[in-house]
Amino acid sequence: MTTDTKLVTVTDENFATEIGAHEGLAIIDFWAAWCGPCRMVAPIVEELAEEHEGTVKVGKLDVDENQKTAMQFAVRSIPSILFFKDGRHVDTVVGAVPKAVLERKIQQHA
């Protein structure tokens, strides 16, 4: 996992405080270390965290270590990037997608 401090590590334990209580837009990358497409999308997620610092909370959740939250949002394929607005799940993008797709979703929900 990256050492970039702009990314929030989201877990089963801190999901409610990091995302559920967050006002505004948050996006969470549901991923796993063994997942090739997850490694492809990881740099894009890091770029989004950097570029939208202060306006969009960007985090990563390891589905192997945090199965409760993954099951809560019916994450069956990874990478899955879930969008939350004021703590509510509003959108999902599944698979390794180009950065422009995620940028459009951020604009749509901002």
Q: Assign 3-class secondary structure to the chain.
A: CCCCCCEEECCCCCHHHHHHCCCCEEEEEEECCCCHHHHHHHHHHHHHHHHCCCCEEEEEEECCCCHHHHHHCCCCCCCEEEEEECCEEEEEEECCCCHHHHHHHHHHHC
Task: Single out the catalytic residue among 10, 19, 38, 106.
Answer: 38
Is 38 an annotated catalytic residue? yes
Task: Single out the catalytic residue among 26, 27, 35, 44.
Answer: 35
Residues designated as active site: 35, 38
